[in-house]
Amino acid sequence: MRCPTFITIILFSVTAQLAAAATPPAGVMLVADLQYVAGGDVSQRLDLYLPEKSTDKPLPIIVWVHGGGWSAGTKSQCPAIGYVKQGYAAASVEYRFSQKAIFPVSPVHYVTKDCPPFLIMHGTKDPLVPYAQSEELAEALRKAGVTVTLQKFPGAGHTGPAFHLPAARKLMQDFFDRNLKGKHVKVKAVPENDVTLPAAKKPGK
């Protein structure tokens, strides 16, 4: 099985559950509940966020897959909306939960040389997904010759404010700009101290 031919970013985080699509900010247009599987399940829909000002140029798209352990959650909140004003489109995807469609194995078993670049961001104190799983995935990608950046968040859990620190946001921006817009920017893991909250820092650091 080949990996999808789009840029991949894995952020081990969850979103709050709401009933309807997020209200877009000024300058952003929402096209809600687009069916992406013809004749598929009612849950196989997505919300598309586009700049209100039309453009003749194709827009790179960021796809947000919400958290919830594959058994809960909703597409109603889409953190990628913020990138729309920076020249991107964003899609927030609803999908069948594991009660209906059980995914058979770990993503590491689907790694091939055809996989797109990966940015993996993971807290070392994640109680739901062990950090070691990201290390295993990153190593498998490297062995396959795939470009991968693994960003460690010391002391961070499955979600939290550390993932929204300026250094983390810049890393994501650089990753998208390089791989989706072709900009000549470097993408590399930032110093751990820059993505560590004060309470999680060791004395003397």
Indicate the pTM of the whole model.
0.85
Domain residue ranges in the chain: 8-98+105-200
On the question of pLDDT at 134 being above 80, the answer is: yes
What pLDDT is attached to residue 14?
39
Residue with tokens 């453009």: 55
Which of 8-12, 64-68, 135-139, 195-199 is predicted least confidently?
A: 8-12
pLDDT digits (tens, 9 = 90+) for 27-81: 999 999 999 999 999 999 999 999 999 888 899 999 999 989 889 999 998 999 9
On the question of pLDDT at 137 being above 50, the answer is: yes
- Percent of the chain past pLDDT 90, that is, above it, reads 77
Tell me the mean pLDDT in the region 156-169. 95
User: What CATH number belongs to 8-98+105-200?
Assistant: 3.40.50.1820
What pLDDT is attached to residue 5?
43
Contact in structure between 168 and 197 (CB atoms under 8 Å): no
On the question of pLDDT at 141 being above 60, the answer is: yes
Confidence class of residue 1 from pLDDT cuts 50, 70 and 90?
very low
